[in-house]
Amino acid sequence: MSRIWAFFLTFLLSSYAIGQSLIVKTESGRVEGMANKTGDIRIFKGIPFAAPPVGNLRWKAPQPVSAWSGVKKCVAFGPSPMQAKPAPFMYWSSEFLIPEQPISEDCLYLNVWTGARSAAEKRPVFVYIYGGGFRSGGAGCAIYDGEAMAKKGVVFVTINYRVGVFGFLAHPELSKESGYKASGNYALLDMIAALKWVQKNAAAFGGDPKNVTIAGQSAGAFAVNFLAASPLAKGLFHRAIAESGGSFLSSPARPRLTLQDAEQLGVDFAGKLNAASLSDLRAKSAEEILKASGGLNGPVVDGYLLPEGIYEIYAKSRQNDVSLLLGWNGDDKVMGAPVKAEVFREQIRKRFGNQADAYFSVYPAQTEEESAQSQGNSNRDESFGIQDYTWAKMQTKTGKSPVFLYNFTRKVPAHTPQTQFGAFHTGEVPYAYNNLQTVDRPWEAIDRQIADVMSSYWVNFAKTGNPNGPNLPVWSAYTRESENTQIIDKTIENRPLPNKDKLRFWENYYGQK
């Protein structure tokens, strides 16, 4: 009898959703979504937020989407942006990657999960920006599913943006035709277009356009940093979450380029394709462009979207001053296999010169084991730790909104010792969005508990700008004096930032205090 009643209740809920609210009117036309299995969440996938960036719109700022008549079925993800076919590598099994199909230049779509029954509810809106090194990724990845977050009370939105050379190519002709004397950064302009769509349409899904949180991981976190610094994004969001990423300090892996540098890369790229003009470049197929090497594949200080470097913008208190939730992982590294200790020591002495001894005092490399560990820790701290740490310090120095800092150190369970990568880069994402079920790992009860707590922190932050709430471990805001950090592991606790000696080395090296 209980099974029959459960089936009947599910049927009633689904029927209610289908009969009452699966068609929503957006600014461009009506869209029809679907209900989840229990009927309490409406899901809309593949809603266009800008015109397809193809043909003469390739390498242009996103243009308005054409309105449609009738009702557009929105029950499947739009194509992932143009990129290579996904293949598992390093720490990332297939669950962390986009679907194999479809992949297309025509990619500017977003997705919405909502539990709201009317526009009057005004739930917080949570906009997620995926990672992938700005060269890959897409919103159709299973770990970004928004149902669990919507069940906790937010309108959850995932967005696509152009990646690789499709999202970032700069060229003198592109700068000339743009109307704003710059080129590149199309991916970031895509994000801004999506946020403008949210401002105009969130209320129709029960969201509050005056309470929007942007969040991202890896390249998505770098993007959040750029948006937090860009005058073009002012007023489009009210809180920001960055998981493992920021762009305050340049490095050998991420050197700062001028617009002129970026444009020259574009000229060289066109030359390799034997394209004598911009029209020749746009006439090339997406496959030809994808296969070609060169061109810009990441953001640039262009004088338009980013008037100057992010550090300078924050130093002058010109950032979009919003509450921040920032952090990185215990094994947050993006690197290949470690080199032999002797080779590593030679590399460090060549790079750091008279600062090498200071480096080895915090990253020792006397034995092979010690060297391998130090290489990973150093990569983690220079790539992610020092960026987010600097972000926290600069916001507390020149901004008024609070910062909440975390370190995720739970070693993600693995089936074999060979697949035990610790608290690896991206490993926190299934926890933060309560999506452990999307990843094939031998999860324990403690993992489900961490995921529930972590996702509650994220939702509370989106609601109020503060992650704290009933029945959660207290999370004290970061201050420059206490440097409070929420350690997220089997035990979740707030304590002074660990590994400060390592971060201090990078501060001294880059000349920041």
Which amino acid belongs to residue 267? Answer: V
Question: CA-to-CA distance for 168 and 184, rounded, in angstroms?
Answer: 4
Secondary structure, 3-state, 191-255: HHHHHHHHHHHHHHHCEEEEEEEEEEECHHHHHHHHHHHCHHHCCCCCEEEEECCCCCCCCCCCC
Burial label, 196 (beta-carbon count in 10 A; 0-12, 13-18, 19+): middle
Instruction: Give me the long-range contacts of 224-228 (CB less than 8 A, separation at least 24).
Output: 224/129, 225/310, 225/387, 225/391, 226/188, 226/299, 226/305, 226/306, 226/310, 227/188, 227/191, 227/192, 227/195, 227/320, 228/319, 228/320, 228/322, 228/324
> Residue 305 carries which DSSP code?
S
List, by residue number, the catalytic residues.
218
Q: What is the CA radius of gyration of the chain?
A: 23
Which amino acid belongs to residue 85? Answer: K
- Partners of 75 in beta bridges: 45
Token duo for residue 193 = 């277009």
Q: Are 108 and 195 in contact (CB under 8 A)?
A: no
In the chain, DSSP finds a helix count (H) and a strand count (E) of: 17, 14
Q: Which of 67, 484, 58, 474 is nearest to 288 (CA)?
A: 58
Query: How many residues appear in the chain?
Result: 513
| Cβ density class 142-176: b for 16+ within 10 Å, e for less | bbbbbbbbbbbbbbbbbbbbbbbbbbbbbbebbbe
Burial label, 190 (beta-carbon count in 10 A; 0-12, 13-18, 19+): buried
Q: Are 334 and 383 in contact (CB under 8 A)?
A: yes
Question: CA-to-CA distance for 250 and 222, rounded, in angstroms?
Answer: 12
- What are the distances in angstroms from CA 281 to CA 87, 266, 293, 352, 494? 28, 10, 14, 41, 53
Written as one string, the DSSP assignment of 9-58 is HHHHHHHHHHHHSSEEEETTEEEE-EE-TTSS-EEEEEEE-S----GGGT
Burial label, 36 (beta-carbon count in 10 A; 0-12, 13-18, 19+): middle
